[in-house]
Structure 1
Amino acid sequence: MSLFIGIQLFMVLLFLFFGWAIVKKECYWLISNFNGKPKDEQQQLINNGYPQGIGKLMLVTAAGMVILLPLSFTSFPYSLEVQFGFMMLFLLGGLVYLSKYEVREKRKRSYLFSSLLAIGTIGFVVGLYFLGYQDFELKDYDNSFEITGMYGEEWDYAEIRHVELLEEMPEVTWKENGFGLATLAKGYFKIVDYGSSLLFIHKDSQPYLFIETDHDKIFINSKSSSETIEWYELLSEKTK
Structure 2
Amino acid sequence: MWGLIISQLIIIIIFSLIGWAIRYKKAYYLISGFSSRTEEEKQQLITNRLPQKTGSLILITAVVMVLLLPLSFTSFKYAIEAQFGSMLFLLMGGLIYLSKYETQSKRKRSYIISTVLFVAVIGSIIALTVYTYQGYELKVHDDRFEITGMYGDEWRTTDIKRIELMDIMPEVTLRTNGVGLPTLSKGHFKIKDYGSSLLFIQKGSSPYIYIEMEKRKIFINDKDPDKTKLWYEELKEKSGSPL
Residue 57 of structure 1: how far off its partner (Å): 0.6
Counterpart residue type for residue 131 of structure 2: L
Q: Say if 2:77 is the partner of 1:77.
A: yes
User: Structure 2 unaligned runs (5+)?
Assistant: none
Q: Which residue of 1 aligns with 2:116?
A: 116
Q: Which residue of 2 aligns with 1:238?
A: 238
Q: Secondary structure at the match of 1:149?
A: coil
Q: Which residue of 2 aligns with 1:161?
A: 161
Q: Which residue of 1 aligns with 2:55?
A: 55
Counterpart residue type for residue 13 of structure 1: I
Q: Which residue of 2 aligns with 1:173?
A: 173
TM-score normalised according to structure 1 size = 0.96
Counterpart residue type for residue 91 of structure 1: L
**1-structure distance, mates of 2:11, 2:24:** 19
Q: Secondary structure at the match of 2:75?
A: coil
Which 10-residue stretch deviates more, 174-183 or 64-73?
174-183
Q: Which residue of 1 aligns with 2:26?
A: 26
Q: Which residue of 1 aligns with 2:188?
A: 188
Q: Which residue of 2 aligns with 1:43?
A: 43
User: Structure 1 unaligned runs (5+)?
Assistant: none
Which 10-residue stretch deviates more, 151-160 or 174-183?
174-183
CA contact (8 A) 2:161 2:212 kept: yes
Q: Secondary structure at the match of 2:25?
A: coil
Q: Which residue of 2 aligns with 1:103?
A: 103
Residue 230 of structure 1: how far off its partner (Å): 1.6
CA contact (8 A) 2:160 2:212 kept: yes
**What percentage of residue pairs aligned between the two structures are identical?**
54
**1-structure distance, mates of 2:36, 2:174:** 40
Q: Secondary structure at the match of 1:105?
A: coil
Which 10-residue stretch deviates more, 160-169 or 65-74?
160-169
Which 10-residue stretch deviates more, 184-193 or 79-88?
184-193
Displaced runs of 4+ in structure 1, greater than 4 A?
A: none
**2-structure distance, mates of 1:189, 1:34:** 43
Residue 174 of structure 1: how far off its partner (Å): 2.5
Report the number of matched residues.
Answer: 240
Q: Secondary structure at the match of 2:105?
A: helix
Residue 233 of structure 1: how far off its partner (Å): 1.7
**1-structure distance, mates of 2:5, 2:197:** 24
Which 10-residue stretch deviates more, 119-128 or 174-183?
174-183
TM-score normalised according to structure 2 size = 0.95
Residue 235 of structure 1: how far off its partner (Å): 2.1
**1-structure distance, mates of 2:153, 2:54:** 46
Q: Secondary structure at the match of 1:119?
A: helix
Q: Secondary structure at the match of 1:189?
A: strand
Q: Which residue of 1 aligns with 2:139?
A: 139
Q: Which residue of 2 aligns with 1:211?
A: 211
**2-structure distance, mates of 1:188, 1:22:** 42
